[in-house]
Amino acid sequence: MSSSTLRLALVGNPNCGKTALFNLLTGARQKVANYAGVTVERRSGVFVDGNGRLCEILDLPGSYSLHANSEDEAIARDAVLGGLRGERQPDLMLAVLDATHLHLGLRLVLELKALGRPMVVILNCIDAARARGMVIDAEALSRELDCPVVSTVAITRGGAEQLLAALPAFAPAAQSLLKLTGQSVESLYQEVDRILARVLTDPGRYPVWQDRLDRVVMHPILGVALLATVMLLMFQAVFAWAAPLMEGLTFAVDWLAATTTGMMAAGPLRSLLVDGLFAGVGSVLVFLPQILILFLFIGILEDSGYLARAALIADRTMAKVGLQGKSFIPLLSAYACAVPAIMATRTIENKRDRIATILIAPFMTCSARLPVYILIIAAFIPDRPLVGRLLSTQAGALFGLYILGFLAAAFTARALKSSILKSDRTPFVMELPPYRRPTLRSLGLRLLDRAKVFLRRAGTVILVVAIGLWILAHVPLDHGKAPQIRDSLAGTVGRVVEPVIRPLGFNWKIGIGLITSLAAREVIVGTLGTIYGIENADEESMGLREALRRDLAPGGAAALLIFFAFAMQCMSTVAVVKRETGGWKWPAVQFGYMTGLAYVCAWAANVAVTRWLA
Amino acid sequence: MPAGELHTIDQMPRGQRRRVLDLLGNAEFGPMDALVTRRLKELGFLPGAWVEVIGHGFFGRDPVSIRLGGSKFALRRAEARKVRVETAGP
């Protein structure tokens, strides 16, 4: 952005409809990044104002006060005061005021007004206010605040033009580093009351249906039952609804690979494209439907106002492991896939709680572990009834692995929250926003945003890993041809790591599988298939199971299951943690901890099972 | 409720409506207590404001959700203990 570009910043309370206004003004021309050095999301976009000038608009994090209580609020404060590293002070502040929450919003507006910078007040959600019978005199408000006031309904299409037309002609303002004024809260509220007495001709009444709905949603029994139902539905959707889409994507990638195979002559380039690129990138792409469905659910829950209530209901349960209610939904989604779960932790404002949630999310049994679990369980555990017909030994083993992951997550959370991630007692005050109907526009933009983030970031890492692995498996050339896998660089690496993994009961072939599955857990199935030289190896194949039984003692099989339950064998997760935490520190800590835990527990499992059978 | 006894938001049953008297210190917050007090005030927990309990969390009636003017908030027990309310209802 050149220095002649006008800079606007949206400031306002959380849930005041700021982001809806931002979406309206910028459409899909948005950029999502992080503020320099912190993990707070920076949303900016460009639009052309009524006079044809290019404007850059910043959607500052929602805040209740310039006396910041969280990292998000500190960013908003520093941005308007002009002290935010790497950011120019806005030329014009757009203070967004939710017309149904005038009390709360006006106090912030008065704090902003005291700064003496150019400001326009946007009276948002004016339709909801009218529906409540509120009568607001916008002209009187403008006189009282001595700045322009624009009434809008953020969700309607015409809103953008209306807002643009009402923006006053403004010029780049001089930059000046400001200080907070020391007005007391009481005096600010006195001023708010004085203004409201002149502006609010009829205060209206809180909609009765909202209270009735809350009586059900927050009922001690009904509320919990409703939350459980919503969660089950979400879980089911991520698993079941995504399945056909995932199969479709797999089919498309396979078709592309087959077509490429047919069109190109056999050779290293074809192999790189088909075995490296398509296989590698395809294995990531299949997660996209799960991610989109999960975010569709989270979007609906958040936009409708239910998410805050769900967090409230789950808060005490999560508090037992040192976390809070807002960690509940990300952790639940991690049962499907840790990648969207980690992206979903953005709803947690407390930074330390958010990091703790990110660190334990990959312990939850994600769907990528299933192919591995199924293969090993089917190969080593005889299928016998365990609890009558209800539960077989195989299903019991699978369930046990789910429990194991959960326990590891709970244990780790407790350990983290009572040591390195111990939070100061900061105020836990959560607003329960009014129920609203989610708009298709907002949901669509959310999904678009998440899909872009996922494909761009996680996709590039996987691409590099896939190509790297392919190369390792194909060099050094043996008389101009690809070598036997044992003699390839990958095979050599497998044999080099063999002494390290032998105590777990693994040989060099499993070693290669462990290394390739660093990219994604289920890759080990295909890798072992390739290594054993069995065609069409998939988890249902009898050949692969028999080969595994020849290669792996029961102790080693148990160790392999435990290893996959705990180890962070997933490059997409590493990439997304790096992105979400803004550096390599946390993914490195997490990877080291999970791999260490996996190694020790797998070793213990190997020893225990071998002794027990002896 | 005997006269003179401290009555705070965390003791209010669901559905009860009371006026805020003032904000108390809570040693649980240590040096952060003043900050918590300021934030509660900023959200509108000021003397004379009406609060109504609309629900509780799953276990141990914590957190407590309340209505304050046109907004609804959830407070954990430690925060709720800071808000003293009048003992007589409307």
Each residue of A530-544: b (16+ CB within 10 Å) or e? bbbebeebebebeeb
A510-519, A594-603, B57-66, range with the lowest pLDDT: B57-66
β-strands A119-124, A92-98 pairing: parallel
Q: Identify the burial level of A593 via C-beta atoms within 10 angstroms of its C-beta, where 0-12 means exposed, 13-18 middle and 19 or more buried.
A: middle
pLDDT in tens, A497-513: 999 999 999 988 899 88
A37-41, A544-548, A567-571, A586-590, range with the lowest pLDDT: A37-41
pLDDT in tens, A438-497: 888 888 888 887 788 777 755 666 677 667 777 877 777 777 666 777 788 878 888 899
A326 in reach of chain B (CB within 8 A): no
User: Which one-letter DSSP state was computed for residue A488?
Assistant: S
Average pLDDT, rounded, for chain B: 84
Contact residues on chain A for B76, CB-CB shorter than 8 A: 315, 428
Q: Say whether the peptide bond before residue B90 is cis (omega within 30 degrees of 0).
A: no
**Which candidate, B2, B6, B15, places its Cα nearest to that of B80?**
B6
**Spatial separation of the C-alpha atoms in residues A593 and A123, rounded to whole Å:** 50
Look at residue A534 in the predicted model and tell me its pLDDT: 43
User: Bridge-partner residues for B51, per DSSP?
Assistant: B18, B68
Q: What is the mean pLDDT of residues A523-537?
A: 64
Pairwise CB contact (< 8 Å): B74 & A432: yes
Residue A18, CA distances (Å) to A127, A196, B3 in order = 15, 22, 46
A317 in reach of chain B (CB within 8 A): yes
Distance of CA A339 to the CA centre of its chain: 7
Do the Cβ atoms of A478 and A485 come closer than 8 Å?
Answer: no
Residue B64, CA distances (Å) to A435, B2, B60, B75 in order = 18, 23, 10, 5
The band of A200, judged by pLDDT with boundaries at 50, 70 and 90, is confident
The residue whose two tokens read 């994600």 is A366
**Which candidate, A100, A124, A148, A143, places its Cα nearest to that of A24?**
A124
Of residues A107, A211, A424, nearest to B42 (C-beta) = A107
Do the Cβ atoms of B9 and B40 come closer than 8 Å?
Answer: no
β-strands B50-56, B71-75 pairing: unpaired
Asked if residue A312 has pLDDT above 90, the reply is no
The residue whose two tokens read 């989610």 is A438
Do the Cβ atoms of A357 and A372 come closer than 8 Å?
Answer: no
Look at residue B1 in the predicted model and tell me its pLDDT: 45
Pairwise CB contact (< 8 Å): A426 & B73: no
Contact residues on chain B for A426, CB-CB shorter than 8 A: 32, 35-36
**Spatial separation of the C-alpha atoms in residues A405 and A511, rounded to whole Å:** 23
Do the Cβ atoms of A347 and A319 come closer than 8 Å?
Answer: no
Pairwise CB contact (< 8 Å): A185 & B38: yes
Of residues A64, A316, A325, nearest to B60 (C-beta) = A316
A53-62, A440-449, A538-547, range with the lowest pLDDT: A538-547
Name the residue of chain A whose CA is nearest to B64's CA: A312
Residue B6 vs residue A313, higher pLDDT: A313
The tokens for A477 are 């050339």
Contact residues on chain B for A313, CB-CB shorter than 8 A: 57-58
Residue B5, CA distances (Å) to A207, B24, B88 in order = 35, 14, 12
A86 in reach of chain B (CB within 8 A): no
B22 in reach of chain A (CB within 8 A): no
Residue A182, CA distances (Å) to A61, A66, A84, A565, B71 in order = 22, 11, 20, 54, 26
Q: What is the mean pLDDT of residues A183-212?
A: 87
Q: What is the mean pLDDT of residues A409-425?
A: 85
B49 in reach of chain A (CB within 8 A): no
| Contacts of A142 by beta carbon, 8 Å cutoff, 6+ apart | A121, A148, A149
**Which candidate, A300, A297, A325, places its Cα nearest to that of A235?**
A297
Pairwise CB contact (< 8 Å): A317 & B59: yes
Look at residue A262 in the predicted model and tell me its pLDDT: 85
Look at residue A533 in the predicted model and tell me its pLDDT: 57
Identity at B43, one-letter amino acid code: L
Asked if residue A287 has pLDDT above 50, the reply is yes
Helix/strand/coil (H, E, C) string of A299-340? HHHHHHCHHHHHHHHHHHHHHCCCCCHHHHHHHHHCCCCHHH
Look at residue A565 in the predicted model and tell me its pLDDT: 95
Do the Cβ atoms of A517 and A526 come closer than 8 Å?
Answer: no
Count of A-B CB contacts under 8 Å: 123
A77 in reach of chain B (CB within 8 A): no
- The three-state secondary structure class of A184 is coil
User: Which one-letter DSSP state was computed for residue A142?
Assistant: H
A239-243, A365-369, A393-397, B28-32, range with the lowest pLDDT: A239-243
Distance from CA of B49 to the nearest CA of A (A): 11
Backbone angles phi, psi at A570, to 5 degrees: -165, 105
B30 in reach of chain A (CB within 8 A): yes
Contact residues on chain B for A68, CB-CB shorter than 8 A: none
Look at residue A424 in the predicted model and tell me its pLDDT: 65
Name the residue of chain B whose CA is nearest to A190's CA: B46
Of residues A214, A317, A427, nearest to B55 (C-beta) = A214
User: Which one-letter DSSP state was computed for residue A62?
Assistant: P
The model carries a pTM of 0.76
Contact residues on chain B for A214, CB-CB shorter than 8 A: 54-55, 65, 72
How many angstroms separate the most distant Cα atoms in chain A?
Answer: 90
pLDDT in tens, A23-57: 888 876 777 776 776 667 788 998 887 777 888 99
Pairwise CB contact (< 8 Å): B71 & A424: no
Look at residue A542 in the predicted model and tell me its pLDDT: 54
Asked if residue A234 has pLDDT above 60, the reply is yes
**Which candidate, A405, A450, A432, A156, places its Cα nearest to that of A297?**
A450
C-alpha angle A431/A229/A315, rounded to 5°? 35
The residue whose two tokens read 């001595």 is A146
Q: Which helix (H) or strand (E) holds A93?
A: strand A92-98
Pairwise CB contact (< 8 Å): B65 & A313: no
- Find the length of chain A: 614
Asked if residue A120 has pLDDT above 80, the reply is yes
Radius of gyration of chain A (CA): 28
Q: What is the mean pLDDT of residues B5-11?
A: 83
User: Which one-letter DSSP state was computed for residue A520?
Assistant: B
The band of A575, judged by pLDDT with boundaries at 50, 70 and 90, is confident
Of residues B28, B46, B55, nearest to A218 (C-beta) = B55
Pairwise CB contact (< 8 Å): A427 & B59: no
pLDDT in tens, A91-110: 999 999 999 889 899 999 99
Look at residue A535 in the predicted model and tell me its pLDDT: 40
The proportion of chain A whose per-residue pLDDT surpasses 90, expressed as a percent, equals 23
Following CA atoms A588, A593, A594, A596 in sequence, which dihedral angle do they give, to the nearest 10 degrees?
Answer: 120
Q: What is the mean pLDDT of residues A371-385?
A: 84
A178 in reach of chain B (CB within 8 A): no
Asked if residue B2 has pLDDT above 50, the reply is no
Phi-psi region of B65 (alpha: psi -120 to 50; beta: other; left: phi over 0): beta
Look at residue B58 in the predicted model and tell me its pLDDT: 67
Phi-psi region of B42 (alpha: psi -120 to 50; beta: other; left: phi over 0): alpha
The band of A298, judged by pLDDT with boundaries at 50, 70 and 90, is confident
Q: What is the mean pLDDT of residues A271-287?
A: 71
Look at residue B3 in the predicted model and tell me its pLDDT: 47
Average pLDDT, rounded, for chain A: 83
Contact residues on chain B for A186, CB-CB shorter than 8 A: 41, 46
Look at residue A5 in the predicted model and tell me its pLDDT: 80
- Of the residues A214, A218, A426, the best mutation for testing chain B's interface (the one with the most B CB atoms within 10 Å of its CB) is A218
Radius of gyration of chain B (CA): 12
User: Which one-letter DSSP state was computed for residue B48?
Assistant: T
Q: What is the mean pLDDT of residues A153-169?
A: 69
Look at residue A586 in the predicted model and tell me its pLDDT: 94
Distance from CA of B71 to the nearest CA of A (A): 7
Contact residues on chain B for A429, CB-CB shorter than 8 A: 39-40, 43, 73-75, 79
Asked if residue A537 has pLDDT above 50, the reply is no
Look at residue A359 in the predicted model and tell me its pLDDT: 95
pLDDT in tens, B29-48: 888 888 889 989 999 999 99
A313 in reach of chain B (CB within 8 A): yes
**Spatial separation of the C-alpha atoms in residues B3 and B16, rounded to whole Å:** 18
Distance from CA of B81 to the nearest CA of A (A): 12
**Spatial separation of the C-alpha atoms in residues A53 and A509, rounded to whole Å:** 63
Identity at B70, one-letter amino acid code: G
Name the residue of chain B whose CA is nearest to A216's CA: B55
**Spatial separation of the C-alpha atoms in residues A317 and A327, rounded to whole Å:** 11
Helix/strand/coil (H, E, C) string of A348-397? CCCHHHHHHHHHHHHHCCCCCHHHHHHHHHHHHCCCCEEECCCEEHHHHH
